[in-house]
A and B are shown apart, each in its own frame.
Chain A
Amino acid sequence: MQLAATIRGTKYRFDSIKEVLAKANPPKSGDDQAGISARDPVERVAARAVLAELTLHDLRENPVVPYELDELTRLVEDTLHADAYQAIRSLTVGQFREWLLETSTTGPLIRSISRGLTPEMAAAASKLMSNMDLMIVGAKCEVVVRANNTLGLPGRLSARLQPNHPTDNVEGILFSTREGLSYGCGDAVIGVNPATESAESTAEILRALNGVTTRNNIPTQNCVLSHVTVQMDALRLGDVPMDLMFQSFSGSEKGNRAFGISVALMDEAYAMMSELRSSHGPNFMYFETGQGSALSSDAHHGADQVTLEARCYGFARRYKPFLVNTVVGFIGPEYLEDGAQITRAALEDHFMGKLLGLPMGCDACFTYHSAMGQNELECLKVLLGAAGCSYLMSLPVGDDIMLNYQSTSFHDIPSVRGLVQRRPTPEFDAWLHEMGIMDGLKPGPRFGDPGVIR
């Protein structure tokens, strides 16, 4: 296969499709750190020109990590939907981008071929797209999922309530929870990142959260984001109200090994939740991802961080999750240097996740050593709202006092919903109305009053 393009008389050659994918990427400090990015903007465009001419079949035949070496590659290859793949296999990546953008290509139409796409195809399309292209297609995709409420319907924007506490003080967690609910947050999940990785502590927090949602009849889900093995141990304790089970994913088998997981382990966890979950619906898993996680454990196999991120979604879709979100700015400036890179990555991840059929949310965030400011982060939240992102996070003033980074605030959720005219899940919307917290898109009489929650 000839992998070369000429720009202004200079011929650019590439040795592999993996190299083309990497060099076609918009600038990312993580790709620079890995030494795989384009050496200049012209080479980057040359790589995109080559990529645009490759077919989706070429991409299926050339996964960035070989079939023999990696169980995620095998999982995707062995479970790819044959008819869906047949429908799109001969399109070039350039044609695929255009097909996605056509007005006649509706969300349901995209959904119909989604199972025939490999992660490499989704990543490749993103590399030929501008930020607004990514938003247009992302907004078209419709992924509806059900647990205790229904997430992802058109015109909806949900929020995870994230009441973290540095010592897992349950009272402290509940104070943050009640305040967040009074701002209309928490319809995606009330999810705590625990400081302590123990089954007992996970169970204790779940019981406390369940107390709040039961007492107040709140149609939502609870989750404690400890390691999946800890959550399985918590389930074994018996009578633990676990609505969603959580795990972080990486884009290669080696990366997942560093996270202490494998396909077999996740299959076991999924089977356990099928039996023992407390939520009512077909979707009950929750996954987090983020560009750069594979490189940070030296598990990137020379592939770029966008393609590896897409491979997390290829893994995630096996488990029909209720929630998937990228934690886009959390990893730090050595992977995403500044506001432009974090914004770009957020829109890429949302697009790729939705294209691969996932209910994609985003933790729009930065660490304090990244070159991103508050205004840029607020802009990103509005962009994500306009792009049809399924959910954002929410914390008091956006400040995570446990993990020490800046995310979305309780106040941001009703603000973005108002700006882009989106409401919470219908069930939660009705509850907010009944409580007097929201009156449609407007704050109700008890808005911001945590005293309304028992």
Chain B
Amino acid sequence: MDNNILKAEHIVKTFTKHTALDDVTIEVPRGKVYGLLGPNGAGKTTLIRIINHITAPDSGVVTFNGHQLTAADVANIGYLPEERGLYKKMKVGDQAIFFARLKGLSKQDATKALKEWFERLEISSWWDRKVEELSKGMAQKVQFIVTVLHRPELLIFDEPFSGFDPINANVLKREILRLRDEGSTVIFSTHNMASVEELCDNISLINKSHNILTGSVRELRREFSDNSLEFSFLGEQSKLTEALQPFTREISSNGIDRDGFLSVSLKLNSGDDLRDAIAKANEAVDLRSFRQVLPSMDEIFIRSVEMFNQNNPQQ
């Protein structure tokens, strides 16, 4: 079988006044966590809705498990929308069963699976309470469970951590990774770049209705590397600065690090200078450690979006 669980190819979707998606292609590998990133209003939610068969694209093809996506495939997808709510007057348990039955589970199966999940997320005591009594974070847990309960092959989470405190956000991250390890594929849309580095294997960056960057997180970070290094050493900083002068664009002191060594951050002119730079530094001071600093997804996000916007000012 195809290694990609989902392919969306050349998707175009226009609304009356603007183009939401313009020739966007993404390929989501099976069993991975796929990040769908992009500024507000870039077209992510529209793309997700197309993948989830809620709206139809003007042109382009979505392939799921090797065949063209149909309404029946939605049973194999779990989608947690960004804007989400529950029926306020309904009891939590009844409501969860209602949603589970919409996903095709029988009442007995739904109840059994729900009890397990409620146990795991420590919310069993809410079963008979009305939704309006729950806090936002509590309601989010219920929504999360409802999304994953029917064990779909593909899970789509749109901003899953909004409204969560750090402790519960971690619980959720753990559960998402556990689901991935059990074989689910996850599409994960967020503005929280730290969680992208933590969770995502691959990403696509959607900006102004275009897919402007796509690839594995690890490779992208290397690709976007600006040759930043961090040295810690014993000795005089001025000697080190002098020795590295020919190779560096920038050099700045970080003071003394945790281990009591002096520390500097620097950017090399070129990656090819790395060996020479280390040799020179070693002569000048007593070098204790060095490491390459890869750019954060935050930086990659900002740089890509700004570059795209500069090159395409008309949009």
Specify whether A and B are partners.
Answer: no
Footprint of B on A, CB under 8 Å? Answer: none
